[in-house]
Amino acid sequence: MNARTGGRGLTPERGLLLVLAAAFLWGLLGIFGKLAQVRGLSPLEIAFWRATLGGGLYLAHALVSRARLPRGRDALVTALFGLTGVSVFYAAYQLAVRSGGASLASVLLYTAPAFVALMSWLFLQERLGQRELLAVAGTIAGISLISLGGGQGVHPTVAALGWGLLAGLTYSLYYLYGKLFFSRFAPPALYAVALPIGAAGLVPFTHFTHKDAGAWGLLVLIAVFSTYLAYLAYAAGLRLLPATRASVIASLEPVVAAGLAALVFGEQLSALAIVGAVVVLGAALTLSLPGKATESA
């Protein structure tokens, strides 16, 4: 994808700022989620309200912009994506935050590129080259180091690793789904369908509690900043930057999350866990780089 510089203000520098903003807003998700859990909300209820409120914002956006909504088979695939990429992903991420901490959950999310490589090999018959195999092995090694290292306020239990890896797996579906649909539909139109369906998929498993003004405020922050604006900023930045560069910049998300978690909750990865986190992010960056002949689009 080539950067577009023809329109007023549409420069690579603007794209850089937009993707940086998205990374920062996504980095806030674990912080907001953990603060909401402290106020008595369950991980599943946080996931439900994120999908419900965020979906409402996208639906309003799609209606105002008159974006074409998916129909027929496209709507069915989008609904299935909503149940996996929203219901399961949103819930797994918040459960990972509760089990292991915000910084650990954010790092484990970046196992997604390794899952993309494996699923592309399994379902799309794409060849696993030396780079892909090295990145998958690096991801496994990094997770092993994190599980051995832990840290202050960071708990790499079996549950934390399991939920974090499930979050990474379901997050990887965004890459595969986006490859098929983002060139045909405006992202707000797709999220306007996927997020409400994802919220509906969480209803049978969610126990709703009384929420004070502070809890509602945190849910609104999650929906507006870490969902609606974050996705919009990344999509807008991607139009101005090569996809490879955008993905590299977005990988600052766990750095933001870890820094904020240290400040707000006193979470600190051990030296061994930091090495593991660097290995996981390095593997993700390796897979985000273009192949020998082509640039990622």
CB 231 within 8 A of CB 191: yes
d(CA 229, CA 239): 16
The answer to whether residue 5 sits within a structural domain is no
Q: Which residue has the tokens 């509760």?
A: 98
Which of 144-153, 171-180, 193-202 has the least mean pLDDT? 171-180
CA distances from 63 to 103, 109, 158, 284 (A): 36, 31, 43, 36
Tell if the pTM clears 0.85, that is, is over it: yes
For residue range 18-46, list pLDDT tens digits in order: 989 999 999 999 999 999 999 999 999 99
The answer to whether residue 119 sits within a structural domain is yes
- Considering only CA atoms, which of 34, 36, 19 is closest in space to residue 262? 34
For residue range 216-275, list pLDDT tens digits in order: 999 999 999 999 999 999 888 878 877 667 777 787 889 899 999 999 999 999 999 999
CA distances from 266 to 88, 102, 154, 248, 260 (A): 28, 11, 9, 27, 9
The answer to whether residue 14 sits within a structural domain is no
Give the residue numbers spanning the domain of 37: 22-288
> Reduced to 3 states, what is the DSSP secondary structure of residue 207?
coil
Q: What is the mean pLDDT of residues 185-192?
A: 94
Q: What is the mean pLDDT of the chain?
A: 89
pLDDT at position 4 over 70: no
* Tally of structural domains, the chain: 1
Residues whose CB falls within 8 Å of the CB of residue 158, separated by 6 or more in sequence, listed in order: none
CB 180 within 8 A of CB 121: no
The answer to whether residue 3 sits within a structural domain is no
Strand partners, 151: 154, 269
For residue range 51-92, list pLDDT tens digits in order: 999 999 999 999 999 999 999 999 999 999 999 999 999 999
User: Comparing 106 with 8, which gets the higher pLDDT?
Assistant: 106
pLDDT of residue 244: 62
Residues whose CB falls within 8 Å of the CB of residue 162, separated by 6 or more in sequence, listed in order: none
Q: How confident is the model at residue 291 (pLDDT cuts 50, 70, 90)?
A: low
The answer to whether residue 4 sits within a structural domain is no
Tokens for 63? 């209606």
> Reduced to 3 states, what is the DSSP secondary structure of residue 66?
coil
The answer to whether residue 272 sits within a structural domain is yes
The answer to whether residue 59 sits within a structural domain is yes
**φ, ψ (nearest 5 deg) of residue 31:** -70, -50
- Considering only CA atoms, which of 7, 208, 27 is closest in space to residue 102? 27
The answer to whether residue 294 sits within a structural domain is no
